[in-house]
Amino acid sequence: MSRSPSFSVKPELTIKPDLASLSRWVHSFCIMRFDLEQGQILEESYPPNRLSQEEEIEVSFNSFPDSVSQKQHNRSSIHDCIFFFRFRRDNNNNYLYGYVFNRQRHDERLKRGGEQKSVVILSHAPYSSVFRPLLQIIGPLYFDVGNKAIEHVAGFVSLWPPPVPGKLMELPIGNATLKVNLPPPHSLPLENNGVLYEESASSMAPLLPTNQSVPQGLFHDADLFGVYRGLLLQLWTLWELLLIGEPILIIAPTPPQCSEAVACLVSLVAPLFCSVDFRPYFTIHDPGFARLNSLREGDAFPPMVLGVTNLFFLKALRNMPHVVSVGTPSLNSNRVPFSSRSSAGRLPGGKSSEGLGVQQLSLRRFSPTNLLNAVKLRRDGPLCLMTEHKEAVWTSYAAITKPDTSVLNRLVDAGMSPRVEESMSVVNNEILRRHFLELTTNFLAPFGPYFQVNAPSDGSSPYVTPPPLPSFSADEFLSNLSARGVGKFLSKRMKSNWPDLYRRFLQGPNFVPWFQRRRAVAEQEQRRLWKVARMRTDMRLITSQMNELEAVDSFDAIEKYINEEVKLRESGGGSADSEASFEKLKKDLQAVFSVLPRDMQELLLSNPQRASLLQDPSELQ
């Protein structure tokens, strides 16, 4: 990893960071050192005092590869790696993401032959597309010039515009510019328990997006093909497991591999908002481990995806129902072509392990080697990883979705050339991500009618109460869906028991948060459409056709909207078009007032504030 040679720290160009602006992107920068006597130590934090003591401990333990994964590295003089972790800050599902640049320096002259440090960027947002390239700048720069690199980079970050989810942003850093796509609003946690306004246009209903360059979920830049190339046929099983919120343990030799594997898995369910607790790099020091380790046999694991490197988890969490092993022990070894890497078998308790290549699928199914591998895997289970690392999936779950061989056959095998392999991974990632985006979108499509909004029809009053969105009943939904079918796309790719997948999805942790959020977005969009209609409708044409009761109801409704606008203006929360909306409401109020009976007009004018609206609009500012 290297930074741009043009990037350097010049005192005359140092920018004093604006901490308020910096916090829009970064919670804090940390420098962690591994001390042989004291363990993990926080050497530096900028801005200072941003972390509680508990958070410092969390960051310390998550910022270094554990002893098991360290042993897998080739003992070169310097080894750099980038990975990320996530931990819960409180009981309100607020998380911090830690993006780590770790350097291990092997030097026989040092005590125990080496040292290691980590540069950590902490953020409230899962902006891996931003912080990964930023680490590639700040990491080497820190080891060149020391602590002044942190404040120097923080100064540039504080000049960045506020994040705009779902947009391509250009973020200057020194002489370079990071061009990054941020994940869309519907994939991010809500802020202040509200609805992000940007969602109204991007995620009203589960429809396949037309612009494929725009990310549709978290970690859209994760190397899906590179990580799971040895387990391609199992991607559909993993997609279902995450969709229904099953607990999954992902084990890999190194933190970069396990964190990338978790990110890839989360990205599979886009555009669904993932409510499963995922931990890209999880250690035994995490407070959550004690709770998991205390579960007795028969207790259910909570919905989660844990990325680990320590083989101790195989014993401590031996009752985890789904285990995935990915990656290669040596970071510098050439990858084997995906068509020849596989393992398959039947394991105790009905658990299966498969990782078949695509081109040789039909040949390997009955090969003697494959049969021997199956016997060994059946006997040992995931514990076989204690002696030899291999890529496999152990699960008793029977997938409903069938692997799409037409998609697999389109993938390009790059052979052994790293340069060609990297470019082919880009192509293969696009093919896979497009397919799973289409798969998830079609799976969510039957819920579309429950997000259908209604706008006022031409010639009708925009001040009547808008109709509510269709009510939802899980039993009624399943009954109707079973009767009419799931649609051509899914029916070709799923077994006949596909209603079971919908049933488990409705009962899982992902459905309610996603559905409630979509409903809130739909309701917001409906309010917007009716507001637009109120601005465009000529109430004088409508009032001529009103009876007295309709006129009174319209008058009360308009007055209610006026009061809401007044409160918005007084609180400073009015939008740019608030004044025009306010004036239009007053004109509509006067139009309705003009058709009311004389005695009712006199009664209404007895209220001074109302009279000012009806007789002299200029008095109310």
Name the one residue in this structure whose structure tokens are 């996530």: 86
- Give the mean pLDDT of 252-261: 96
Q: Are strands 248-251 and 176-181 parallel, antiparallel or unpaired?
A: unpaired
By mean pLDDT, which of 241-250, 318-327, 555-564 is the weakest? 555-564
> Torsion angle of alpha carbons 302, 306, 312, 318, nearest 10°?
40
pLDDT of residue 416: 54
- Which candidate, 359, 333, 382, places its Cα nearest to that of 233? 359
pLDDT digits (tens, 9 = 90+) for 464-495: 888 899 999 999 999 999 999 999 999 999 99
Q: Concatenate the DSSP letters of all residues of 287-303 into one string.
A: HHHHHHHTPPTTPPPPS
Helix (H) or strand (E) holding 99: strand 95-106
Which carries the bigger pLDDT value, residue 55 or residue 3? 55
From 505, 445, 522, select the one nearest 186 (Cα to Cα): 522
Spell out where 347-431 has E strands: 352-354, 392-395
Q: Give me the sheet containing 39-46, strands edge to edge.
A: 39-46, 28-35, 114-123, 95-106, 78-88
Phi, psi of 469 (to 5 degrees): -65, 155
Residue 195 pLDDT > 70: no
Whole-number pLDDT of residue 342 = 34
Angle, helices 235-243/498-507, rounded to nearest 10 degrees: 40
Least confident among 79-88, 488-497, 594-603, 606-615: 606-615
Cβ atoms of 9 and 42 within 8 Å: the answer is no
Contact predicate 183/263, CB 8 Å: no
Distance CA 404, CA 406 (A): 5
Distance from C-alpha of 287 to C-alpha of 87, rounded to nearest angstrom: 10
Q: What is the pLDDT of residue 11?
A: 56
Residue 352: exposure state from Cβ atoms within 10 A (0-12, 13-18, ≥19): buried
Which of the four pLDDT bands, split at 50, 70 and 90, describes residue 227? very high
Q: What type of residue is 377?
A: L
What's the pLDDT score for residue 420?
A: 67
Comparison of pLDDT for 501 and 208, the residue scoring more: 501
pLDDT for 336 equals 32
